Amino acid sequence: MCFLRRCGLSAIWTRRRMLRQVIHRGLKSFFFSLGLFVSRHPVFFLTVPAVLSLSFGFSILHRYRAETDLETLLAPSHSLAKIERSLASSLFPLDDSKSHLYSDLHTPGRYGRVILLAKPGGNILLQAEQVLQVHRSVLDMKVNYMGYNYTFSHLCMLGDEDRKCVLDDIVSVMEGLRQAALSNRTTTRLQVSYPSTKLKVCPRCMLLPIKEAALHFTRRSSWVNSGSSKQRRWEH
C-alpha cells in the first residue's frame, strides 16, 4: 500500500532525475561535437580570435580611456564639495602667470608640497632651523630619469620677473632672517599681509553655484517627502 504523499514525492524525484539525465546527455554530445569541430579546424580558431582582438584593440576599443580620477569615480556629480570648489575658483582664481603658489582652495594638480608639524606644545615658526634644513634637503634632492639627474630647479615653478623658483613666503622670510643673522646685520622690516584678491563684479556667476546647490537640496527634500508620504499611505 502506498501513501499519496510519498508516491507524489517519489514521482517528482523521478522526473527531476530524468530531466538531469536528458540535460547531461545533451550537453555531453554538444561539447563532444564542439571539441571535434575545433580539433579539425585549428587554424581558424587560432587566427580568428587574434585578428578580432587586434582589430578591436586598434579601432573601436582604442577610443576608450580608463578613468583614474578618484573624485570622478566616487564623488557624486552634484555634490556640494564640487559646487563649493567651483564657487571658490570663481571668487579666488588661480594665478595663471605662475608667480604665486596655489592655495588650499584649489586642486593641487601636478604641484607637490611638504607639510611640517611641530610637536605637541611647540611652535613651528620658532623652529626655523629645522624648517630650513628640510627645505635644503628638498633643494638638494636628485632624481635620475633616463640618464639625467633632475633637481628642484628643473621642476619648480618659475616667476615671471626674475625667472627664479617661486618659494613659500614663510620659507623666504626664514631664509632672510637666517642670512641676516649670519652676516650680523639687521634685517629690513617685512610686512606680511593677509592674502587678498580682486573679485569680478558678476552676481550671476557668484549665485549660480548657490542656485545649483539649492535646486539639488529641493529635489532631494521633495523626494524624501514623497517617500515618507508613500510610507504613511502604506501604513494606513
What does the pLDDT look like over 15-68, one tens digit per residue? 888 888 889 999 999 999 999 998 898 898 889 888 888 887 777 766 777 777
**Threshold 0.95, pTM exceeds:** no
The 10s digit of each residue's pLDDT in 189-222 is 555 555 555 555 555 544 555 555 555 545 544 4
pLDDT for 229: 44
Q: How many Cβ atoms from other residues are within 10 Å of residue 131's Cβ?
A: 20
Q: Please check the confidence at residue 4 and state whether its pLDDT lies above 60.
A: no
**Cell 579666488, residue located:** 92
- Identify which has the larger pLDDT, 213 or 148: 148
- Greatest mean pLDDT among 2-11, 28-37, 58-67, 75-84 lies in 28-37
- Say what the pLDDT of residue 195 is: 55
What residues are paired with 143 via a beta bridge? 150
